[in-house]
Structure 1
Amino acid sequence: MSTLLNATEQKKPNLWRRARHSFAVARHEPANLMGLVLAIFFAYLILAPVLSILVDSFIVQSGDEVRTHQDEGSFTLYYIVRTLFSRISEILLWQPLYNTLAIAAGTVMFSMSIGVVLAWLVNRTNMAGRAWFATALIVPFMLPTWTFALAWTTIFKNRTVGGQPGWLESLGITTSNSVAYGYFPIVFILVLHYTPLVILIVGNALRRLDTQMEDSARVLGAPSRVITFSIVLPLIRPALMSAVLLIFADCIGEFAVPYILGLPVRYDTLATGLYRALDTRQNGVAAVIAGVIMIIGVMTLLIDVRMMKEARRFVTVGGKGNMDRLRKLGRMRIPASGFAGAFVLIGVVLPLLTLFLSTIMILPGRFTLENFTFDYWIGSNLDTVALRNGILLTPEFWQAAWNTIVIVGSSSIISGVLGLLVGYAVLRCSFKSVSSFLRQITFLPYLVPGIAFAAAFLSLFAVARGPIPALYGTPLILIIALVAEKMPFASRSGIAAMTQLGKEPEEAARIAGANWLSRMGKIIIPIQAGPLATGILLPFISGIKGVSLFIILAIPSTDVLTTYSLRLLDYNYDQAANAVVLMIALIAWLGTVLIQKISGTGLAQGLEN
């Protein structure tokens, strides 16, 4: 017995010494301090608004005292019972939930199938015009989703909705409700919108994949099928998972397209149901619906964590692969270009052409010479109440454009840098709990619909709290809200990039005596220049077409292009509003080119015709 006690007493100092040694080693790892700082920062920026929404599900809201028979602010289960178990729960939750999941599943399946093929054609083959397609295929993601919805209704609108008929209806061609509205057009439009996201993320992974591993497998006699499924797909699995998660989560909270194309046939989703609840001042019901969306997101996160453990087994030792050798398509070279061209035609040319024609038509759908005018672009002294001149001659338009560039541009740069730092901290941090918390909390904004997230942000920053002053009415609240909302784009890009980068290059520099700043500036950032540019580009082209945050947080002095276009729609100036949407697409395009020039990398980097 005494021998056992002595052995136990001897183990205690050893355990204490090992713990002290581990702590000392961890203290000198910069990624640990970085991870802790980022975790605290995002906990306040992201977690606090999310918690406020969850609390609203169990607190009696203003105006519901009579209905709940309780005082305002009291604890209640009324909203849970009403939304989940009452006679109207099928309308409030269950049918919208089914519709939402069906839309998300269909969008993920088709966008991944098309996007992976296009990413492979552009980055790994000698397809004709591949350098041009590398940029042209991304354009649909620069356009607001409601741009496609407006173009769709312009063409396919039928008698179900009053007002001006659609173009086909004007030509005597009647479209059914299943074509004009509901599931089919919603999924079709979202696939067009999110396929470029797959091309960006997967294409970046394919460009960085070392082809020498594939060459070695071919030398050993491995067939193409084995190389694809045993080498290529495992190595780009982090990028594939990132694309799936981003698209699925974004579809869960998508509002504009289901609102425009679902409302006429009462095809509700969780996002439109939430909007209805907020619009009718049912804040408690809205909080429950938001909670359901967050539960779906948490389930997605759990799947992500499990799959990432497998993905970490596959890393690229070097920073860049040898991508000089391309797959020869032979007779399929031109058909492959035709496939990519068809996507550009359907996803870019037709919607933009439709919107442009609508901006120069006095009456929609009438293709006569006297019906065309450029007054909504450059006209003056128009016979309207709120729009006296064409948008290019309106000072409010240019002020909104400047606000958009400053606010969205600043938040995008911050998001891109933070995303790369999050990826570095997640993969290098010694504290696994901090690493797991950081990668999950940066995904949380996708779990909350944009309108609810903006409302929660407003409640958090509308008044001064401690050292943080009241930010409502300033551009700063829009910048930090956009940084928080777009972190899933930036962080997933950074994490996917760092997952493929092994520790060997940085460890070699550490042994050579390079400090952390030198390693970041001369090794990590140069190797990850492409992902950093993508981490900036994705929030920019996503934020510039954002709607939900700006509706709640913007005031006239901080008006942006999206809120300006929506105000024109409120006055039924559809032509001018569509013109503003086209300018949004143009600014997004110019911003993309500028980011590529500044970063020295681009979507078409290294590609030749």
Structure 2
Amino acid sequence: MEHRFLKLSKYRLNIALREPTAFIGILAAILFSYLIVAPVVSLLGDAFQVQYADSLRLGHSAGSFTFHNIDRVFKSIVAPDILWLPLVHTMYVALGAMAIALVAGGVMAWLISRTDLLGRKWFATALIVPYMLPSWTIALAWSSIFLNRTVGGQPGWLESLGFEPPDWLAYGQLPITIVLALHYTPFVILLFGNALRSFDSQLEDSARMLGARAYTIARRIIIPLMRPSLLSAITLIFAKCLGDFGVAYILGAPVKYDVLATSLFRSVTARQGGEAAVLAGVIIIIGTISVLIDARLVREARRFITIGAKGAMSRTQRLGPWRLPMTALAGIMFAVSVAIPLMVLFLTTVMRIPGKFAFGNFTWDYWTGHNLSTTALRTGILVTPDFWHAAWNSLWMVGIAAICAGVLGVLVGYVVVRTPFKSLGSYLRYITFLPYLVPGIAFAAACLSIFAVPHGPIPALYGTAAILILAIMADQMPFASRAGISAMMQLGKDPEEAAQVAGAGWWKRLIKVILPIQKGPLAAGILLPFISGLKGLSLVIMLATPGTDLLTTYAIRLVDFGYSQAANAVVLMLSAIAFFGTLFLQKATKTSLASGLGG
């Protein structure tokens, strides 16, 4: 009996190994183990190793085991500046951003989803535009308005008009919190709005018939049923704020207001590898906990049924005399989060002195001028070779990374759904999701820890385009793999089996059957990583060098040089590409970010 069982197992193993999913799955597992798992493990290992810069001072050889890095970050005299103050700042900023986004996004979601707000279809799309733009777009606009003499350089708009903004308004916690809240408010609008739209209005009607007041209905019926979507939005905003670098760098660095992301960046630039590893580990742990909490809340959400049977309805509530004021409120929200920041950035690029609204002060020099007075930037952005070099780098590097991520995402989906080795499929499913648990700034540090030095036949990649392409591709795999898995789960085996019966080999079935059927998910798996990678800064800020600058890192270097007009021009170009790219993504994949919000 045992011999028969072994023969049967061996037969099944031989059949499984003949199926290409096994071979593809093994290759994919090896690839992603190297691109995703190895950098994170290497980084965390650096936290317990003596770094070369510390070897002489500590009296131990580089690479030997030590708790020095842990002690330095957690318990030394510099620990408050390295970890504890940035951690407190991060918590303050994240909690403040969550609170503001929850209130603003909740109100806007309710107005768009459940009321007769004027222009609700337009607002359904307009109010999520901030998330289509780089997070630090609003930060640059804020800096252009409120910049004061604390850090020198060109004056801000208010200072040019005779008002000197206080430091607490120009830099630090308050502006960082507000800017992040405006950027992530669309999270609440999307998640809460979709939940509200599926909410059965008859529950409210029944409560009113029993004499319940509006406050009681909201507290006892609506909020409990909406709790999963609200808590999910909160945890996602927290995870995003945790790893956001650009906003905190622009508005915090001038007054040395560090959060965890900027503290990690300082450690890497100071070549404190062990210190950076510990900080990245802290960020990874906090980010992982927040995402796991979100996953738990999603599972808990299945207990909340907000969609009724055939009699269910989503009735819009008439605002009556409040219709115009509420429409004005939505308009103000759009103006503050989109219209005013973009207008400020544009006007700044055509002013010699920011904030001086005199006819002779306007110029196109920062776009197309020559022989400018600035030292390192002698021509306008559109005639500067460095700008076009960065733009080309952004298009081809991010493009290659996105295409690779999209194709690999479909293959991962194919293996996960089709492979007879369920453990292999599960491993690929979870390993490709791992980058989502690691904030971008921490994953960049992880890539540096393994790719900055040669390993066997693989040379050091720092300073090359390869490290950027590999990092962006790996960072975008959660989106691409989920698109591939979801698509393959909806594709039956019949088309592929019919082609197989007709004599088509696996490669021909892939090209002629699978990819044509899955062209929609494949397009989404390429375009979404492309747009996300194009406007992302946290991942690439530590990996790009002047020779491999992308538009995001090029803009930040201009900010560092104090060339605010040129930096704002670059960000406007980047924002236009990201915005219209997102619209193209929605049209090409026949999806809508505003789906379910009345749009």
| Fold equivalence (TM over 0.5) | yes
Residues 367 and 323 (structure 1), Cα distance of their counterparts in 2 relative to 1, 3 Å cut = farther
In the TM superposition, residue 340 of structure 1 has moved relative to its aligned partner by 2.4
Whether the aligned pair in 2 keeps the contact of 1:293 and 1:447 (CA below 8 Å) is no
1:72 is matched with: 62
Whether the aligned pair in 2 keeps the contact of 1:250 and 1:446 (CA below 8 Å) is no
2:348 is matched with: 358
Whether the aligned pair in 1 keeps the contact of 2:242 and 2:283 (CA below 8 Å) is yes
In structure 1, how many angstroms separate the alpha carbons of the residues matched to 2:224 and 2:373? Answer: 66
Q: Residues 12-27 of structure 1 correspond to what in structure 2 (within 5 A)?
A: none
2:250 is matched with: 260
Q: Residue 351 of structure 1 aligns to which amino acid in structure 2?
A: P
**Does residue 445 of structure 1 match 2:431?**
no
2:318 is matched with: 329
Alignment partner of 2:120 out of 127, 130, 145: 130
Whether the aligned pair in 2 keeps the contact of 1:412 and 1:539 (CA below 8 Å) is yes
Whether the aligned pair in 2 keeps the contact of 1:254 and 1:271 (CA below 8 Å) is yes
2:503 is matched with: none
In the TM superposition, residue 144 of structure 1 has moved relative to its aligned partner by 2.4
In structure 1, how many angstroms separate the alpha carbons of the residues matched to 2:383 and 2:571? Answer: 16
Alignment partner of 1:214 out of 200, 205, 209: 200
Residues 216 and 148 (structure 1), Cα distance of their counterparts in 2 relative to 1, 3 Å cut = closer
Alignment partner of 1:88 out of 75, 78, 89: 78
> Which range is displaced more, 323-332 or 84-93?
323-332
Superposed CA deviations along residues 203-251 of structure 1, whole A, max 9, x for unmatched, are 5x559x7x5x8378689889876774676x48xx4x6665444322221
Residues 430 and 348 (structure 1), Cα distance of their counterparts in 2 relative to 1, 3 Å cut = farther
With the length of structure 2 as denominator, give the TM-score of the two structures: 0.78
In the TM superposition, residue 446 of structure 1 has moved relative to its aligned partner by 5.0
> Which range is displaced more, 280-289 or 428-437?
428-437
1:192 is matched with: 182
1:292 is matched with: 282
Residues 554 and 271 (structure 1), Cα distance of their counterparts in 2 relative to 1, 3 Å cut = closer
1:401 is matched with: 391
In the TM superposition, residue 171 of structure 1 has moved relative to its aligned partner by 2.6
Q: Residues 292-311 of structure 1 correspond to what in structure 2 (within 5 A)?
A: 292-311=282-301
1:545 is matched with: 535
Q: Residue 265 of structure 2 aligns to which amino acid in structure 1?
A: Y
1:3 is matched with: none
Q: Residue 582 of structure 1 aligns to which amino acid in structure 2?
A: L
Over the matched positions of the two proteins, sequence identity in percent amounts to 51
In the TM superposition, residue 48 of structure 1 has moved relative to its aligned partner by 1.1
Q: Residues 568-607 of structure 1 correspond to what in structure 2 (within 5 A)?
A: 568-603=558-593
Residues 98 and 428 (structure 1), Cα distance of their counterparts in 2 relative to 1, 3 Å cut = farther
In the TM superposition, residue 369 of structure 1 has moved relative to its aligned partner by 2.0
In structure 2, how many angstroms separate the alpha carbons of the residues matched to 1:434 and 1:110? Answer: 43
2:213 is matched with: none
2:360 is matched with: 370
> Which range is displaced more, 28-37 or 64-73?
28-37
1:45 is matched with: 35
2:339 is matched with: 349
Whether the aligned pair in 1 keeps the contact of 2:133 and 2:579 (CA below 8 Å) is no
In structure 2, how many angstroms separate the alpha carbons of the residues matched to 1:354 and 1:373? Answer: 15
Alignment partner of 1:276 out of 253, 257, 266: 266
Superposed CA deviations along residues 32-58 of structure 1, whole A, max 9, x for unmatched, are 999877655433321111111111111
User: The residue matched to 2:352 in structure 1 has which SS?
Assistant: coil
In the TM superposition, residue 192 of structure 1 has moved relative to its aligned partner by 0.9
Alignment partner of 1:146 out of 136, 145, 162: 136
Q: Residue 391 of structure 1 aligns to which amino acid in structure 2?
A: I
In structure 2, how many angstroms separate the alpha carbons of the residues matched to 1:430 and 1:240? Answer: 39
In the TM superposition, residue 160 of structure 1 has moved relative to its aligned partner by 2.7
Superposed CA deviations along residues 486-527 of structure 1, whole A, max 9, x for unmatched, are 3455667889xx6xx9x9x878999x999999998899987x
**Does residue 182 of structure 1 match 2:164?**
no
Q: Residue 169 of structure 2 aligns to which amino acid in structure 1?
A: V
In structure 2, how many angstroms separate the alpha carbons of the residues matched to 1:536 and 1:334? Answer: 42
In structure 1, how many angstroms separate the alpha carbons of the residues matched to 2:581 and 2:285? Answer: 35
In the TM superposition, residue 586 of structure 1 has moved relative to its aligned partner by 0.9
Residues 608 and 310 (structure 1), Cα distance of their counterparts in 2 relative to 1, 3 Å cut = closer
> Which range is displaced more, 394-403 or 368-377?
394-403
**Does residue 173 of structure 1 match 2:159?**
no
Superposed CA deviations along residues 281-321 of structure 1, whole A, max 9, x for unmatched, are 22211111111112212323443454344345679999xx9
Residues 412 and 246 (structure 1), Cα distance of their counterparts in 2 relative to 1, 3 Å cut = farther
> Which range is displaced more, 121-130 or 73-82?
121-130
> Which range is displaced more, 517-526 or 553-562?
517-526
With the length of structure 1 as denominator, give the TM-score of the two structures: 0.77
1:160 is matched with: 150
Q: Residue 443 of structure 2 aligns to which amino acid in structure 1?
A: F
Q: Residue 550 of structure 2 aligns to which amino acid in structure 1?
A: V
Count the aligned residue pairs: 579
Whether the aligned pair in 2 keeps the contact of 1:429 and 1:435 (CA below 8 Å) is yes
User: The residue matched to 2:76 in structure 1 has which SS?
Assistant: coil
> Which range is displaced more, 560-569 or 330-339?
330-339
In structure 2, how many angstroms separate the alpha carbons of the residues matched to 1:20 and 1:303? Answer: 42
In structure 1, how many angstroms separate the alpha carbons of the residues matched to 2:96 and 2:578? Answer: 27
Whether the aligned pair in 1 keeps the contact of 2:528 and 2:585 (CA below 8 Å) is no
In the TM superposition, residue 582 of structure 1 has moved relative to its aligned partner by 0.7
Q: Residues 311-322 of structure 1 correspond to what in structure 2 (within 5 A)?
A: 311=301
The CA RMSD over aligned residues, in Å, is 4.9
Q: Residue 91 of structure 2 aligns to which amino acid in structure 1?
A: L
Q: Residues 107-122 of structure 1 correspond to what in structure 2 (within 5 A)?
A: 107-122=97-112
Q: Residue 146 of structure 2 aligns to which amino acid in structure 1?
A: F
1:248 is matched with: 238
In the TM superposition, residue 174 of structure 1 has moved relative to its aligned partner by 3.3
Residues 546 and 353 (structure 1), Cα distance of their counterparts in 2 relative to 1, 3 Å cut = same
In structure 2, how many angstroms separate the alpha carbons of the residues matched to 1:41 and 1:464? Answer: 17
Residues 606 and 197 (structure 1), Cα distance of their counterparts in 2 relative to 1, 3 Å cut = closer
Whether the aligned pair in 1 keeps the contact of 2:127 and 2:333 (CA below 8 Å) is yes
Q: Residue 349 of structure 2 aligns to which amino acid in structure 1?
A: T
> Which range is displaced more, 357-366 or 345-354?
357-366
User: The residue matched to 2:392 in structure 1 has which SS?
Assistant: helix
In structure 2, how many angstroms separate the alpha carbons of the residues matched to 1:313 and 1:424? Answer: 31
In the TM superposition, residue 142 of structure 1 has moved relative to its aligned partner by 2.8
1:7 is matched with: none
In structure 1, how many angstroms separate the alpha carbons of the residues matched to 2:325 and 2:22? Answer: 51
In structure 2, how many angstroms separate the alpha carbons of the residues matched to 1:27 and 1:413? Answer: 28
In the TM superposition, residue 270 of structure 1 has moved relative to its aligned partner by 1.3
Whether the aligned pair in 2 keeps the contact of 1:533 and 1:596 (CA below 8 Å) is no
In structure 1, how many angstroms separate the alpha carbons of the residues matched to 2:222 and 2:419? Answer: 32
Q: Residue 186 of structure 1 aligns to which amino acid in structure 2?
A: I
User: The residue matched to 1:454 in structure 2 has which SS?
Assistant: helix
Q: Residue 60 of structure 1 aligns to which amino acid in structure 2?
A: V
Whether the aligned pair in 1 keeps the contact of 2:231 and 2:294 (CA below 8 Å) is yes
1:339 is matched with: 329
Residues 302 and 385 (structure 1), Cα distance of their counterparts in 2 relative to 1, 3 Å cut = closer
Q: Residue 286 of structure 2 aligns to which amino acid in structure 1?
A: I
Residues 429 and 301 (structure 1), Cα distance of their counterparts in 2 relative to 1, 3 Å cut = farther
